Structure 1
Amino acid sequence: MHHPSRRAVVLAGAAAALAPTLDAFAATPAAGPAVQPYASYWYPDSLPPGSPGEGVTWHSLKSWRAATDADLAFNAASVPLAPRFTPTAANPTARAGQARIQSLVSFGPTASNPAQGGPTADYYALTHWAYIDELVFWGGSSGEGLILAPNAPVVDAAHRHGVPVLGNVFLPPAAYGGRLQWTRDLVQKDAFGHYPLAAQLVAVAAAYGFDGWFVNAETDGGNTALATDMLGFVAELKALGKAKGQRVTWYDSMTANGSVSWQGALNSRNQAFFRAADTMFLDFRWSPGTLAASGTKAGELGRDRYELWAGVDVESHGWDTPVDWDAIVPAGKPHTASYGFYRPEWTRSHLPAGRTPGDFHAADDRFWTGASLDPARPDAEASWRAPAAVVADRSTVSALPFATTFNTGHGLRWYDGGKVTSPAEWNHLGLQDRLPSRRWITRTEGEHPAVSFDFADAWRGGSSVLAAGTPGAPVTLDLYATRLPLSRRTVVELTHRADAQVRVELAVATAEPARPGAPQPYRHLTVGTLEAGSWTTTRLPLTGLSGTLRAIGIRLTAPGALAYRLGALAVHEEPQVPCVPSRLTVTPGPDGVRFTWRRAPGPVRHYELHRVLPDGTRRFLGGTCQRAYYVPGLVPEPGERSARFEVRTVGELYTASHPAVAVHTW
């Protein structure tokens, strides 16, 4: 992508036989060297001259093999891509079946990007998955590596919300260290005319559990022969990947004669690459005319115009970015194309030092929802046309059991049962819950309260939902659009607390709203009146309901100030206790410890690792959806000769198994 400022940021920082499934590694995860595992990155084949910089290790994709990948157990995602449905839109302007949104995000540097989260809450823990159709794990640089595999936490969180994740293949311009040899390496052919690195890319995505590749070929100096090889490579990548459920997005860069010439359009110079791929990202230089012509051209090629992503560069100015929204998503006629946000992690990066998780989510909510912070009440006159005002949200809450602790995937400490079991900051997107997609719809005849994720107190994980204000009238808060089957055994459990008296009712709907933007047709079930106090759990049978639960929320009535926290919500028919994992092993290293174990049989949401301290208390060390975990900086407690570690399986209802135990002698 052609802006130097963006590039400088980036630079700073067949196939079935090659593609083992994750089950192939289910028995015993490879322990590997006991060092910090990082997200994987490669060059296609040949490496740069000289030596890598500090903290960088050069790898060749051509020589990669799953069987010898020591970090695969840490990097392989485990959550399958969830199916999504589209409920009745939250407002009349949000459309289904038209424009979609791609998001290109740099979660960290190319090298030294931890495989499984880290010890800080300052992280781009995106939560507005409901508006995203495709996430690209953006990055790559000539001095570190050009091909990035997404780390497992990002993929697991995205898949839980039904969003595919693509790795990135970046061939940089020569001005930024790109070498045409790397392009030739990528598209090399074997004796049979096939593209071995296309097969390798498919094998990597299959082994790591993500959904395909974003191909960005920007190294100039090529010719028609090289473009022909690139076209064959992309076509084979798509064909091989399709058998594995993978997809390919092509970036508008190389043209049919081999030159790099950003078109900002679909036209005769790049249409062959569009036809070879599943979708194409149009460079930022599009205009209303070229975008309209691109949509027409897609139709002439027998393709959907919404398979074109019109680039919207928000890296520098976020919601203050000037965008000709009427060229992409006009209000009075069908949308012209889909669009792609380049670097929406601006919502975090533009904040000053000392930013908190709450600061980030406030900015991120404004970006995705709009200044009103309520997708049912979008600001039609705002210059920033927030996704919630344009694109219908989706949900994956369609099967029982369903539970959430409103955990955003980062926090200032870790809570379990309302108690702090680790005082340390953390981030790990793989532990993120399925979160409310419409944040935040409140309906009241009084003053709308402020609703947010709160990090000062939680029932489990790092956050809860806080509703605060002085509404002076009952407030209904939408939580989830659902498609949950109801039976005589269905129950709902709420875990909540209040700082002042509040009457709580459960709001449930078994039908859709009458029209987009209309309120949910809730009926209200009495939960009770909470006084100021500690966390409590209330259980409500839904015996009077039948059919399908289509929406769930709460109604709050406070005689004065409202300060209500919701810590957990569960809908299920019977409790479930997960099975115990086995063979917990401890492998110490110079700076930390690798833990590995065998997968527990039956359903698994994630695993949690604890250390039992000499006084018998348990300290939370971390959680992961994988069967391996690395903990840095573990040292003996005073006078401790051996340490006891425990790993437990956590199920969808957050019930935990008995532990698998390992004792390590220091």
Structure 2
Amino acid sequence: MNPTRRTVLIAAGAAALTPALPVLSAQAAPRAAAATPPYASYWYPDSLPAGSPGPGITWRSLKSWRAADDPDLAFNAASIPLAARFTPTPANTTARSGQARVQALVSFGPTSANPSQGSATADYYALTHWAYIDELVFWGGSAGEGLILAPNAPIVDAAHRHGVPVLGNVFLPPVAYGGQLQWTRDLVQKDATGHYPLAAQLVAVAAAYGFDGWFVNAETSGGNTALGTAMLGFLKELKSLAAAKGQRVTWYDAMTVNGTVSWQGALNSQNQAFFQSADDMFVDFRWSAATLAASGTQADGLGRSRYELWAGVDVESNGSGTSVNWDAIVPTGKPHVTSIGFYRPEWTRNHLPADQRAPEDFHAADDRFWTGRSLDPSRPDASDPWRAPAVSVADRSTVTSVPFASVFNTGHGLRWYEEGAVTSEAPWNHLGLQDRLPSRRWAVRTAGERPAVSFDFTDAWRGGSSVLVAGELDQPAVVDLYATRLPIGVNTVVELTFRGESGEVNVELAVATAEPSAPGATPPYTYLAVNSVNNGVRVRSVNGWQTVTVPLTGLAGTVRALGVRLTATEGPVRWRLGGLAVRDSVTAPAAPSGARVTAANGGDLRLAWTAAPGAVRHYTLHRLLPDGTRRFLGATGQLAYFVAGQRPEQGETAARFELRAVGELYNASAAVTVTHPW
């Protein structure tokens, strides 16, 4: 990889992004009792740099890591297992299943001081187009901070909900960016038994933190054949240990078998042994149509899938404006050649000016990147020079069991809503709270003018966002929401929560129990009245929102697609969808137990608790003030949470916190109370 692509990984640049925090000694023991903010973890393999770490940076050795000694493990361990996926009939005639896959190498934040559980800003790369992604790499690392990065829990939880494995990153930097060959030697060191202790440590970290394996990127030059041989032995042992734990290993095309760093841009004799010792390989950007074609042929000859090769596409600088020879990777009308490896698709956020990074600005750019210029995967724009993933790759879904619910929470917002009321005015991000989101954004079926459909952040039923449909609606319009595999029982109902802001619109629930007749065809929907109070439909109104419960009377088998049909009786229309649920019954979740303050420093507190039995979507934490006001403080899927800046209010002598478990249907358990004396 060219050094110019390392811009965000330069130690000085990363350090400039970190807040001023107390400097910890490189040899300092974990401070389990300190009420400090938890951050995503990062390490050197073994030896540490000379000198002292910069402000806010803690130097750690992976070799000495132990789960029992990790003070932030409870904040960083993912809570959602990797969901199984299925591939519905593609939304268009060009997207294919079983061929090219998509990998994304994403830097969500700096190496150091990257919050474990979100932060108080909506300006965040809230990735939502998981349906097209097959592997996410938590990209980062720098010579001045650390080289081995464990992804933080919110990202893993969001990815896992959508069936996407997440890999930590092992980055041995180019010498131009401070790389030291000793760190490579540290990584591949052997113990007295001939094993590679750092391979076992990497697998232990991934198991403890709940992510899915490692991306190994050795780019420090100066090695020799002995080092190349040692790296190959290390990689083989890492792959063996990882496979035993259900983890994956991806190799980056940089180091060759003779220990030198020479990016090939191909699968060839210089890196084949590494590819054969890993699950996948990222092919550096130097590829050409000829080298990719030869690489695919070589993978076939090895009995491997050519789609285990990710052809690198560098979008860090120009995003959806990047010029790419798409026919070399995903040709139209021919079998795909290899898979796609996007380097730094968070361009969709980073290229925006600081005063234009509102959530809607980011999602507009992100939809353009993943869906294409048409912003409708059911009708891609063939003249678009950017061949978005939705054009070539079939979307996937994990919506396979009842109950299922979504409030269309994207994982960030300008405020926090509960049942249509604002319970916190603070902007926020926490990807672990993201719902399973519609994969086809936005497929709209209409014979008239297409309305605009988007996530909107000015109002929500719960969380921070809702789906806004706006336009003339001169003809009925069907908005596809979810591809599903939901069994229909005798008591199965669908709940829709929505509100109209302008115009008059008739709402119908669209339910399909069979696949479309062909790729690109409309699902064979049955339309069920929502506005009617007949046929068992029940309506509840809260804070201007209506929740309508529609029984699936007369339908049997499996729900394979869900949507809404909107017919305007007076326009233009602004109509907002805040929630959707499919259920047979409602059972309240059990409450967590053992809630306690584990550390305090003034108004900065660490809290922990024991998991509630049964299925839990996440936990919410509120502060109960003496006048009875409940203030939302945050939510997380983990069993620990950090709150900052609390202070006595209304003459109280102790702060009172309420912790609740939230179930799949967004119904909450009884509150567990925690008090903290001032």
Q: Which runs of 5+ in 2 are unaligned?
A: 15-30, 533-538
Tell me the residue number matched to 1:196.
197
On the 8 A contact 1:498/1:533 being kept in 2, the answer is no
Deviations 1:158-196 (A, max 9, x none): 000000000000000111100000000000001111100
1:527 has 2:530 as partner: yes
Task: Give the match's secondary structure for 1:571.
Answer: strand
Aligned 8 A contact 1:501 1:532 in 2:
no
How big is the shift at 1:558?
1.0
Does residue 470 (structure 1) correspond to residue 480 (structure 2)? The answer is no
In structure 2, what is the equivalent of residue 238 of structure 1?
239
Q: Distance in 1 between matches of 2:98 and 2:124?
A: 32
Partner of 1:460: 462
Contact kept? 2:420, 2:543, Cα under 8 Å:
no
Q: How far apart in 2 are the matches of 1:492 and 1:527?
A: 10
Aligned residue type for 2:250: T
- Shift of residue 8, structure 1, vs aligned partner: 4.9
Distance 1:224 1:84 in 2: 42
> Quick check: 198-207 or 521-530, which moved more?
521-530
Q: Secondary structure at the match of 2:354?
A: coil
CA distance in 2, matches of 1:5, 1:147: 18
Deviation at 1:64, TM superposition (A): 0.1
Q: CA deviation at 1:458?
A: 0.2
Deviation at 1:9, TM superposition (A): 4.3
Counterpart mapping for 1:119-268 below 5 A: 119-268=120-269
Give CA-to-partner distance per residue, 1:476-505, whole Å, 9 cap, x none.
Answer: 000000000011110100111001321000
Tell me what 2:509 maps to: 506
Amino acid at match of 1:67: A
What's the counterpart of residue 589 of structure 1? 601
Q: What is residue 494 of structure 2 aligned with on the other side?
A: 492
Deviation (angstroms), 1:603: 1.0
Aligned position for 1:548: 558
Cα contact 2:360–2:457 (8 A) shared by 1: yes
Q: What residue is the counterpart of 2:19 in the other structure?
A: none
Q: Does 1:569 align with 2:570?
A: no
Q: Which moved more, 1:593-602 or 1:388-397?
A: 593-602
Pairing partner for 2:412 from 396, 410, 415: 410
Q: What whole-Å deviation, never above 9, does each CA across 1:38-79 have from its counterpart, x for those lacking one?
A: 000000000000000000000000000000101000000010
1:439 corresponds to: 441
CA contact (8 A) 1:10 1:139 kept: no
Contact 2:9-2:141 within 8 A present in 1 as well: no
2:482 paired residue number: 480
Asked if structure 1 preserves the Cα contact closer than 8 Å seen for 2:407 and 2:580, the reply is yes
User: How far did residue 4 of structure 1 move?
Assistant: 1.7
Q: 2:423 aligns with which of 410, 418, 421?
A: 421
Partner letter of residue 531 of structure 2?
G
User: What residue number does 1:630 align with?
Assistant: 642
Whole-angstrom CA distance in 2 between matches of 1:591 and 1:137:
32
Contact 2:293 2:337 in 1 (8 A): yes
Give TM-score, length-normalised by structure 1: 0.96
Identity %: 71
Residues 334-355 of structure 1 show CA distances to partners (whole Å, capped at 9, x for unaligned) of: 0000011000000001111122
Gaps of 5+ in 1: 14-29
Give the secondary-structure state (helix, strand or coil) at the position aligned to 1:501. Answer: strand
Aligned counterpart, 1:73: 74
Q: 1:102 to 1:591 in 2, by over 3 A?
A: farther
Residue 10 of structure 1: how far off its partner (Å): 5.0
Cα distance in 2, alignment partners of residues 287 and 635 from structure 1: 60
Offset, 1:3: 3.5
1:3 aligns with 2:9: no
Identify which range, 521-530 or 346-355, moves more after superposition: 521-530
**Matched residues in 2 for 1:5 and 1:378: separation?**
31
Counterpart residue type for residue 616 of structure 1: G
Aligned 8 A contact 2:315 2:342 in 1 = yes
Distance in 2, Cα, partners of 1:502 & 1:75:
45
User: TM-score when scaled to structure 2?
Assistant: 0.95
Provide the residue aligned with 1:605 in structure 2. 617
1:379 aligns with 2:381: yes
Give the secondary structure class of the aligned counterpart of 1:609.
strand
CA distance in 1, matches of 2:302, 2:589: 51
Confirm or deny: 8 A CA contact 1:254 1:261 kept in the other structure: yes
Amino acid at match of 2:458: A
Q: Does 1:57 align with 2:58?
A: yes
* Structure 1 SS opposite 2:667: coil
* Per-residue deviation, 1:7: 4.0
Structure 1 residue 614: deviation in Å?
Answer: 2.0
Which residue of structure 1 aligns with residue 670 of structure 2? Answer: 658
- Give the Å deviation of 1:533: 8.5
Kept in 1: contact 2:421–2:543 (CA 8 A): no
Alpha carbons of structure 1 residues 336 and 591: separation in structure 2 relative to 1, 3 Å: farther
The residue identity in structure 2 corresponding to 1:306 is Y
User: 1: CA distance between counterparts of 2:542 and 2:228?
Assistant: 68
525-534 vs 52-61, greater mean Cα deviation: 525-534
**Structure 2: distance between partners of 1:225 and 1:522:** 63
CA–CA distance in structure 1, aligned partners of residues 222 and 283 of structure 2: 21
Q: Which amino acid is 2:260 matched to? A: S
TM-fit CA distance, 1:532: 13
On the 8 A contact 1:498/1:532 being kept in 2, the answer is no
Q: Supply the distance in 2 between the matched residues of 1:172 and 1:550 (Cα, whole angstroms).
A: 47
Deviation, structure 1 residue 243? 1.0
Task: Output the amino acid matched with 2:119.
Answer: G
Partner of 1:88: 89
Look up the SS of the partner of 1:561 in the other structure.
strand
8 Å CA contact retained: 1:310, 1:337? yes
Structure-1 separation of matches of 2:639 and 2:55: 29
How far off its partner does 1:591 sit?
6.2
Deviation at 1:5, TM superposition (A): 4.1
How far off its partner does 1:31 sit? 6.0
Letter in 2 for 1:132: I
Alpha-carbon offset, residue 638 of structure 1: 4.4
Would you say the 8 A contact 2:508–2:566 is kept in 1?
yes
Distance 2:64 2:302 in 1: 38
* Partner of residue 652, structure 2: 640
Q: Distance in 2 between matches of 1:296 and 1:518?
A: 34
Match of 1:615 among 617, 627, 639: 627
d(CA) in 2 for partners of 1:496 and 1:429?
A: 24
* Partner residue, 2:299: 298
* One-letter code aligned to 1:659: A
SS of the equivalent of 2:606 reads strand
The residue that corresponds to 1:357 in the other structure is 359
Aligned AA for 2:544? S
Distance 1:31 1:507 in 2: 52
**Alignment RMSD (CA, Å):** 1.4
Work out the CA distance in 1 between the residues paired with 2:574 and 2:487.
32
Letter matched to residue 237 of structure 1: L
Q: CA deviation at 1:32?
A: 4.4
Deviation at 1:633, TM superposition (A): 1.3
Matched residues in 1 for 2:572 and 2:114: separation? 44
Q: Which amino acid aligns with 1:516?
A: P
Helix, strand or coil for the counterpart of 1:564? strand
Counterparts of 2:74 and 2:195 in 1: how far apart (Å)?
30
Cα distance in 1 between the residues matched to 2:372 and 2:273:
38
